[in-house]
Amino acid sequence: MKRIMKIIILSVLAALAVLTFVSRTVYNRNLPRVSIVRVTEDFVPLVLIVETPVTECGECGRVFETEWMEIEDEGELYPYVVPRDGIFYLGHGQYAVYAVGSRRGYFGPEDYVTVINIDILRLNEKSAAIKVSNASGGTELSGAFLARDISGRVNNGDTVWVRER
Amino acid sequence: MRQYAKYLFLSVLAFAALFPLFYTFVNSFMGAGEFNRYYGALSVGITRHNPLRIIPDWITLEGYREVFISRPHYLMRFWSSMLISGSILVGQLVVAVLGGYAFSRFRFPGCNVLFFLIVLIMMMPLQVTLVPNFIIIEALNLNGTYAALILPGIFSAFGVFLMRQVMQAVPLSLFESAKLDGAKSFAALWYVCLPNCKHGLAALAVLNFADSWNMVEQPLTFLHSALRYPLSVYLINFGSVPPEVVFAGGLLSVLPVMMLFLWFKDEIAFGIEYSVVR
């Protein structure tokens, strides 16, 4: 009886492990990529303005009441999304990155910010890094502090460091 | 007549215990549309006029598909729960066995006082020890990590108490004959004590695993990220998790504890029999 139980338990765990791997792979493959349109230092530490509007966190499933706002930067208007309840979530990879504040436990100076498009588990509020996945090959960044770190241009795979002004 | 009354009473108790499980089982075959139609009012706080749905209008495996295939959220949290509960189980078995052996077989200065403190801690509700634990975890810089859940779980007083009681029931003559054969303390524990304490170990394993599998307060206190929450916390977020996932996932979350119980059922049955006969 114990041997049968052992076989059943191990089979179930193995099946769940395989299902987890398959489910994650399929899910990640279908995630839309984040395109970073513009990065500005107007908001400490960082604001990423994205092309796709966000209403739902792809990982936790939380639905955000969002509002569209437009900020002016160098004479042009860009839309961005801010969760109304004040909780800032990083774009786990599904759609976009929100305005991130400097609340303790979320972000602070010297943190590096990443949006990881594929790995839905490696993200936590204290450290995340922007992995630019713009298929066109690069995005110009505005802001002197960013220029200091990466010469004013971010390419795919770069890590952007957050600094206070 | 007394017999019938006894059976009736037991039937009522069994019904009360099993009905929630049955209800979860039948509702796990409902689709999202049916949930919205019959339970949608609950999401806006209207609790009247919500009849229990025992028989779904349309049986569907939508919930199970959502759990296993569509999104990996449930499965990722399943493995998080397994990691936390498994680590606590292994750690506590080691600590409880060694601690219980020390208290049952050795007399050292302060052992009675220490054991009294263990019993005292064991009787304290979780909420009393949550704040001190939080302060210690914060000082160790483990806040937000799984270690914040695992470490307090490993060093739990109940395991030491249980193993001490179980080991005290092992006849002294066995230890004396082991000593005569040249066995040291650890050899006596491994070859003499533990084989006679299998029922106690089984009971501790099942109780401990079930307790850590179902914990809610500790993850909400120590973990900051919703990504790291174990299954027990994920499933209570009825608003953000689809209801068909909650019911299907809730039913499936019973399986690990049930499997562990079935694994150890012989030892547990022996332990109950043994304590009754004694």
Whether A125 contacts chain B with CB within 8 A:
yes
Residue B41, CA distances (Å) to B23, B28, B32, B34, B50 in order: 19, 19, 14, 12, 8
B68: in domain: no
pLDDT attached to residue A54? 41
Q: Which domain holds residue B143?
A: 79-241+254-277
Q: Is residue B248 part of a domain?
A: no
In this model, does residue A82 exceed pLDDT 80? no
**Greater model confidence, B87 or A102:** B87
**Those residues with Cβ within 8 angstroms of residue B210's Cβ, 6 or more apart along the chain or in another chain:** B257, B260
**Could you tell me the residue ranges of all domains in chain A?**
1-30, 33-161
Percent of chain A surpassing pLDDT 90:
1
Looking at the fold, whether B94 and B190 belong to one and the same domain comes out as yes
Q: Choosing among A10, A31, A124, which should be mutated to test the B contact, i.e. which has the most B CBs within 10 A?
A: A124
Asked if the ipTM is above 0.85, the reply is no
* Same domain for B84 and B53: no
Same-domain pairing of B22 and B89: no
Res B51: pLDDT: 63
Q: Is A74 or A117 the better-scoring residue by pLDDT? A: A74
Residues B32 and B106 in one domain: no
Contact between B225 and A121 using a beta-carbon 8 Å cutoff: no
Q: Which residues in chain B are contacts of A63 at CB distance < 8 A?
A: 240
Contact B144 A61 (CB under 8 A): no
If asked whether residues B261 and B151 sit together in one domain, one would say yes
- Please answer whether residues A12 and B259 qualify as being in contact, where contact means their C-beta atoms are separated by less than 8 angstroms: yes
Which residues, in sequence order, are bridge partners of residue A70?
A79
What amino acid occupies position B149? Answer: L
**Residue A29 pLDDT greater than 80, yes or no:** no
Q: Are B85 and B213 in contact (CB under 8 A)?
A: yes
**Chain B residues touching residue A26 (CB < 8 angstroms):** 69
> Which pLDDT score is estimated for A66?
40
Q: B68: which chain A residues are within 8 Å (Cβ-Cβ)? A: 19, 23
Q: Looking at the domain assignment, is residue B52 inside a domain?
A: yes
Residues B147 and B218 in one domain: yes
B56 shares its domain with B93: no
Which of B60, B88, B109 represents a domain boundary (last residue)?
B60
The per-residue pLDDT for B150 is 93
Q: What are phi and psi of A34, to 5 degrees?
A: -85, 125
- Residue ranges of alpha helices (H) inside chain A are 2-29, 144-150
B231-273 per-position pLDDT tens digit: 888 888 655 667 777 888 888 888 888 888 888 888 877 777 7
Residue A6 with chain B: CB contacts under 8 Å: 263
For residues A120 and B27, which has the higher predicted lDDT (pLDDT)? B27
Which residues of chain B carry a pLDDT beneath 70? 40-51, 225-227, 237-241, 274-278
* CA angle centred on B28, ends A19 and B21, rounded to 5°: 110
Nearest to B71 by CA among B193, B207, B248: B248
How many contacts does A have with B, using Cβ atoms within 8 A? 70
pTM for the whole structure: 0.66
Contacts of B228 in chain A (CB under 8 A): 124
The pLDDT, as a whole number, for residue A72 is 40
Q: What is the CATH number of the domain that holds B158?
A: 1.10.3720.10
- What pLDDT does residue B276 have? 59
pLDDT at residue A49 is higher than 50: no
Candidate from B68, B69, B263 with C-beta closest to A5: B263
CA distance A85 to A98: 13
How many independent structural domains does chain B possess? 2
Position B42 scores a pLDDT of 61
Residue B242 burial (C-beta neighbours within 10 Å; 0-12, 13-18, 19+): buried
d(C-alpha B271, C-alpha A98), whole Å? 56
Query: Based on the domain organization, do B20 and B89 belong to the same domain?
Result: no
User: Is residue B175, in this structure, part of any structural domain at all?
Assistant: yes
B128 and B28 housed in the same domain? no
pLDDT number for residue A100: 33
pLDDT band at A8; cut points 50, 70, 90: confident
Please say if the pLDDT value at position A35 is more than 80.
no
Residue B243: is the preceding peptide bond cis (ω within 30°)? no
Which of A29-43, A106-120, B149-163 is least confident?
Answer: A106-120
User: Domain check: are B30 and B105 in the same one?
Assistant: no
pLDDT score recorded for residue B11 = 92
CB atoms within 10 A of CB A17: 12
- Residue A30 — very low, low, confident or very high, per pLDDT cuts 50/70/90? low
CB contact under 8 A, B224 and A123: no
What chain B residue is nearest to A16 in terms of C-alpha separation? B75
Backbone angles phi, psi at B223, to 5 degrees: -100, 135
Please give the pLDDT value at position B181.
Answer: 85
Task: Write the single-letter amino acid at B134.
Answer: F
Which of the pair, A55 or B150, is modelled with greater confidence? Answer: B150
Task: Please name the residues in contact with A85: beta carbons below 8 A apart, sequence gap of 6 or more.
Answer: A64, A65
